[in-house]
Amino acid sequence: MVDTSLDMEDYYCSVCREIFDNPVSLPCSHSFCKKCCSMLKDSSSLTPAAANHEQYRCAICREVASSFHCNRELDERLSTVEVPCQYCSKFFILKELQKHMETCTARNDSKPPSRPIVHLSKSLSENQQKALEQAQAGENRSTFTCPFCPTLNLTCTDLSQHIKNHHIHEDQRRVYTFVNYTQDEQQMMDDAIQASLKEYASHQN
């Protein structure tokens, strides 16, 4: 089935930026390749009660989910919709297009393929638009809010020092409850907390 009104962006995984391979969807309705979704496992949001269950943080909306499911509708389209190769103009189903383009003999004789131009501001959610505006305004994306108190704009090092100086005797499980998950650098924050805990433990010995 040839689709002349196809928007190719609908068929690209937002993690690997390739055509979907075994597409799956999270409960928030965003889809990814199955292998890419497995990379979205999120340990930072686990409470002690949920420690034995896998959690996935959506790469688009940041929503946490406990499972994903096969996107059969998208997979069916990948197996039936035909589009032309951007190098040789031969038609292939979407599922085979990526593999063909990697070995297309006309590739060396033509310009690099052009991906559809996407006006980013038109496709962003409200939260994503706000984050984009903050980044464009030059705000430091590597700052954090303390998970124990309202202190803002702490660098990774400052956060570690702040927790050691002000919150070291508090129940560390509170970290998982009050972390601001809108931050992109969640792993950096976790590393800062672990560093402060290790330093504290070394002083106790």
pTM: 0.47
Q: Which residues contact 64 (CB under 8 A, 6 or more apart)?
A: 42, 45, 55, 56, 57, 58, 181
Hey, which residues does 84 pair with through a beta bridge?
91
CATH architecture of 8-109: 2-Layer Sandwich (3.30)
Q: Is the pLDDT of residue 21 over 80?
A: yes
Residues 112 and 87: their CA atoms lie apart, in Å, by 8
Least confident stretch, 39-53, 77-91, 106-120, 150-164: 106-120
Q: What is the mean pLDDT of residues 173-187?
A: 52
Q: Is the pLDDT of residue 157 over 90?
A: no
Rounded to 10 degrees, the C-alpha dihedral 173/179/181/185 comes to -100
Highest average pLDDT, of 7-11, 22-26, 45-49, 99-103, comes from 22-26
Rounded to 10 degrees, the C-alpha dihedral 56/61/63/66 comes to -30
Least confident stretch, 65-79, 80-94, 128-142: 128-142
Q: What is the mean pLDDT of residues 133-150?
A: 64
| Parts of the chain belonging to CATH 3.30.40.10 | 8-109
Which pLDDT belongs to residue 25?
Answer: 95
Where does the chain have alpha helices with state H?
34-38, 72-80, 94-103, 120-123, 126-136, 156-166, 174-178, 186-204
